[in-house]
């Protein structure tokens, strides 16, 4: 696979408003975008840390997978996202390697990225997102 860097780290939170007080007020990072991803039933907030971003995920519905995550595990790191070149090729390589794909084909995520998730059961416990910026 052709992975260039960690695109972002996704963190499940109950309230972006509350959590921003820490990331902005204490860490001094700037929230540069808030976006709702209706398909995933989450509101997202982004902070830049060098080339990598922090993506806060607040569920917008009780049946959101992020709501279920918080219910089971509490707030905290939800997934890690790698920036890749050639997301389709990555997915076919992952499938060939016997990994369980949540998305067999890339779909649209926040910030217009093409994204696909690998199941944590086949990635040693870490929900893994592959993403590619095809607009660049
Ligand atoms: Zn993500």
Number of helices (H) and strands (E) in the chain: give both, helices first: 3, 8
What is the structure's pLDDT at 25? 96
Domain extent, residue 15, equals 3-132
Look up the CATH number of the domain holding residue 91: 3.10.180.10
- What 3-state DSSP class applies to 55? strand
**For residues 77-90, average pLDDT:** 97
Residue 55 alpha carbon to ligand 1 centre in Å: 7
Band (pLDDT 50/70/90 cuts) for residue 135 is confident
57 CB-contact burial (10 Å; exposed 0-12 / middle 13-18 / buried 19+): buried
Determine how many CB atoms are found less than 10 A away from the CB of residue 21: 10
Structurally, the chain folds into a number of domains equal to: 1
Q: Calculate the alpha carbon distances from 20 to 30, 66, 95, 97 in Å.
A: 9, 18, 37, 39
Residue 68 alpha carbon to ligand 1 centre in Å: 16
Residue 115 alpha carbon to ligand 1 centre in Å: 8
Write out pLDDT tens, residues 51-81.
999 999 999 999 999 999 999 999 999 999 9
Residue 97 alpha carbon to ligand 1 centre in Å: 22
């Amino acid at each position: 696979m052709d992975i260039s860097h960690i695109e972002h780290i996704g963190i499940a939170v109950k309230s972006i408003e509350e959590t921003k007080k820490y990331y902005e007020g204490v860490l001094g990072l700037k929230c540069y975008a808030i976006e709702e991803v209706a398909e995933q039933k989450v509101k997202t907030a982004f902070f830049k840390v060098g080339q990598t971003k922090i993506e806060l995920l607040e569920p917008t519905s009780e049946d959101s997978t992020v709501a279920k995550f918080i219910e089971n595990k509490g707030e905290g790191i939800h997934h890690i996202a790698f920036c890749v070149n050639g997301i389709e090729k990555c997915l076919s390589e992952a499938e060939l390697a016997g990994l369980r794909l949540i998305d067999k084909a890339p779909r649209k995520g926040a910030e217009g990225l093409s994204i696909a998730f690998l199941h944590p059961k086949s990635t040693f416990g870490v929900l893994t997102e592959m993403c590619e910026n095809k607009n660049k």
